[in-house]
């Protein structure tokens, strides 16, 4: 897959589901969805070498569009998209957690 596709995994999302541990949060309000997607702009960096020890999953986020769901796992320093791990260009854990209050 080309990096450009990886950068736009959140495009046209209509619903976002976020799981943190046992807690599940759903966002369907367009303002919330847009604001959460904006956090992810430019977050995908270079691919993580396969010999790197995987970080513990922190947030499991699913971006739902019509007929499609894109699951993403976000740790502080990496993001998994379609099972491939990338370094993150910015840490969005704190602003993301603000939505989960």
Give residue 29's pLDDT.
97
Query: 23-67: per-residue pLDDT in tens?
Result: 999 999 999 999 999 999 999 999 999 888 877 778 999 999 998
Give residue 5's pLDDT.
59
Mean pLDDT in residue range 1-17: 79
The DSSP annotation for 68-88 comes to EEEEEEE-SSEEEETTEEEEE
Give residue 55's pLDDT.
72
Contact 77, 58 (CB under 8 A): no
Sign of the four-CA dihedral 62, 23, 37, 90: negative
Give residue 4's pLDDT.
56
Mean pLDDT in residue range 80-95: 91
End-to-end CA separation in angstroms for the chain: 35
């Amino acid at each position: 897959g080309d990096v450009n596709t990886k950068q736009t995994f959140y495009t046209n999302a209509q619903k976002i589901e976020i799981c943190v541990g046992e807690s599940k949060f759903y966002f369907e309000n367009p303002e919330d969805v847009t604001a959460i997607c904006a956090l992810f702009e430019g977050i995908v960096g270079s691919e993580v070498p396969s010999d790197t020890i995987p970080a513990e999953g922190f947030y499991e986020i699913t971006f739902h569009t019509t007929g499609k769901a894109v699951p993403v796992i976000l740790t502080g320093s990496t993001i998994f998209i379609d099972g491939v791990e990338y370094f993150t260009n910015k840490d969005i854990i704190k602003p993301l957690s603000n939505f989960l209050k």
